[in-house]
Structure 1
Amino acid sequence: MAVHNENTLGERRFGRINWLGMATLARRETRRFVVVWTQTLLAPLVTAALFLAIFSVAIGPTRGDIAGVPFLHFLAPGILMMTVIQNAFANTSSSIVVSKVQGNIVDTLMPPLSALELLLGYMAGSVVRGMMVAVAIGLGMLLFLGIEIQHPIWALVFVFLGSSMMGAVGIVAGIYSNKFDQMAAITNFIVTPLAFLSGTFYTIDTLPPLIQTITRANPVYYLIDGARYGVIGHTQTPWLGLVVCTAATLAVMALCWVWFAKGYRLKA
C-alpha cells in the first residue's frame, strides 16, 4: 500500500493545488497546436490577410473613412479579434471532442486534477494560441498597413479576455458534443454568427435601432470594439466592454467548472 506524506503530488488536503499536473496539461494543450503550426498559426494569418486583401480590392477604393480612419484600418482590428476568438474556441473544443471520440478522455480525467485545474489547464492552450495569433496579425498590420497600436495595454487585455472567453466556450462545446457533427453545428450556427454579426466588418451606428440593441447583447461585439480601441483608438464603450467581457468570461468558466466537477458528459 502506498504511503502518502504531506508532499504527495495531487493531495487535496488544505486545498493544495496540483501545479505540476496543471502545468503538464497546459503544456500538452499548447504543444497540440505548436506541432502543427502551419495549420494553427500560419493558416489564420493567411486567412486574415485574404480578408483584408478582398475588402481592399472590392470595397476599399470606394469606401470612405470610418470614424476618421481609413476603412482598412477600421477593419483590421476586427479581423484580428475574430481570428483570435475562432482559434481559441477551436483549441479547447477540438481537444476535448477528439479525446472523447477516440476514447482517451479518461487519460485526462484519471490524474489527480481538480475541476478548476482541468479548466485552467485547458484554457491555457487557448490563451497562448490566441496571443500568438494576435501577435502575428498585429505584426502584419504594422508591416503592411502601417497601423501602430494606440493603446497596447487595452489591446492586450481584450485579446486575453477574448482568448479566455472563447477558450471556455470551447470547453462547454467540447463537453456537450459527443460527435464531430455536433461540434460542427455549434461552430456553424452559434460561434460563426456571433463573430460575424458583432461589428467586425462595419460600425453598428449604421444599423437600425433594434439591430443595434441586439448587437449590444452579443459579448463578442465588446471584444471587437475593445480590440478596435486598443489598436486604432476608436471605441463605443471601452469600460463597459471590459465589464461585460469579464463577466461573460467568468460566467462561462463557472459553467465549465461545474461540468468538470460533475463529470457531465465526460464519464460513462
Structure 2
Amino acid sequence: MNVQTPGALLAEAHIARDIVPQPPRTYGSVNWIGVRTLYKREVMRFWKVATQTVAAPVVTTLLYMMIFVVAMKGARPGVDGVPFSHFVGPGLIMMAMLNNAFANSSSSLMQAKIMGTAADFLTPPLSPWELTIGFTAGAVTRGVLVGLVTAATVWPFSRFGLVHVWAIVYFSLAASMIMALTGVVAGLWAEKFDHLSAVTNFIVMPMTFLSGTFYRVNSLPHPFDQASRFNPFFYLIDGFRYGFIGKSDGSILIGVVSTFVLTVALTLVAYQIFRTGWRLKS
C-alpha cells in the first residue's frame, strides 16, 4: 500500500490549486472557425481528386470547342458580326461552372447522408446559416476554379476579349452561387444518387443547353424565344457572354435583378432545410 508523504500531498494541493478550468469558447455571432473549417473540408474534398473534378470538365469543354470551332471551321457564320468562336466560348465556360458548382455541393451532402458522416458537420457548433455558407462557398470555389481553368484552355481557340469585366465577375459568381445552393437543396432532398442523376439529367442539363449556350435565343421561333426568357440560365449565360463580346439577347438589368432574387430565395430555402434537418437528421 502506497502512503504519500505530507510533502507530496502538499505539492499535489499546490498543483490542483494552480489548475484553472478553461472557460467555454465563445464564437460571437458567427462561428468563423467552424465555417472556415467546413469550407476547407469542401475544397480539399474536390481538390484531392482534381483530375476528375477540375481536369475532366476542361477536357469536355475542349471537345465541344473542337467540334464547333475547329472541325466546323467556316461552316458556322458569325453572330451579329461576332465570330462564332467568340460567341460560343463564354457559353461553354459558363456551362462548366454551372455543372461543377452543382455537382460539388450535391455530391458532398449525398455522400455524407449515405456514408453516415453527416455528424461531422452536425455535431460541431454550426448554425444553419453557417452550414449554408460553408457548403455554398466550397461549391462556388470549385465552379469559379473550373471556369478560370476552362477559360485559359479555351482562349487559344476562341480568342475572346474583355469588354465588361463587372459583368464577367458578377454573373460568374451569381451562377456559381445559384448552382451551389441548388446543389445544397438537391443534396438534402435526395435520398439516393439516382435522385441527383434525375435532377442533373432532366433539369440542369436541359436548362443549360436550352439557354442559348450554342445559339442566339432571339433566333428561335415564337413562342420558344419567349419561353427561353423564363429560364434563369439564359440570363446567366447571356450576361456572362455580354462581358466578353458586349452584346446580349436579353436585358442585362433584368438578368442582374432576377439572378440576385433567385440567389436570395435559394439561400433561404437551404437555410430552412438545414434548420429543420429535413432528410438529414432522420
- Whether contact under 8 Å (2:78, 2:84) holds in the other structure is yes
Distance in 1 separating the partners of 2:40 and 2:246? 35
- Between structure 1 and structure 2, the one with the greater Rg is 2
| 1:213-228 aligned within 5 A | 213-228=226-241
Alignment pair present for 1:69 and 2:85: no
Q: Is the 8 A contact 2:85 2:157 kept in 1?
A: no
Number of aligned residue pairs: 261
Q: Which residue of 2 aligns with 1:46?
A: 59
In structure 2, runs of 5+ residues without a counterpart are 1-20
Q: How does 1:243-262 map to 2 (within 5 A)?
A: 243-262=257-276
The two structures, once aligned, show a CA RMSD in angstroms of 1.5
1:32 counterpart = 2:45: yes
2:145 corresponds to 1:116: no
SS at match of 1:198: coil
Question: In the aligned structure 2, how far is the partner of 1:105 from the partner of 1:49?
Answer: 36
Match in the other structure for 1:200: 213
Conservation of the 8 A alpha-carbon contact between 1:10 and 1:112: no
Deviation at 1:140?
2.2
Query: In the alignment, residue 79 of structure 1 is paired with which amino acid?
Result: L
Q: Which runs of 5+ in 1 are unaligned?
A: none
**% same residue:** 41
The answer as to whether partners of 2:98 and 2:176 remain within 8 angstroms in 1 is: yes
Counterpart residue number, 1:239 = 253
Amino acid at match of 1:90: A
Structure 1 Cα separation of the partners of residues 131 and 49 of structure 2: 23
> What is the CA distance between 1:208 and its match in structure 2?
1.7
What is the CA distance between 1:245 and its match in structure 2? 0.8
Normalization by structure 2: what TM-score?
Answer: 0.89
Q: Please say if residues 62 and 154 of structure 2, whose CA atoms lie closer than 8 Å, have aligned partners that are also in contact.
A: no
Work out whether 1:105 is the aligned partner of 2:118. yes
1:163 Cα offset (Å): 0.4
2:185 aligned residue (162, 172, 196): 172
Task: Please state if 1:182 is matched with 2:195.
Answer: yes
Q: 1:155 is matched by which residue type in structure 2?
A: I
CA, structure 1 residues 39+59, in 2 after alignment: closer, same or farther (shift >3 Å)? same
Partner of 1:8: 25
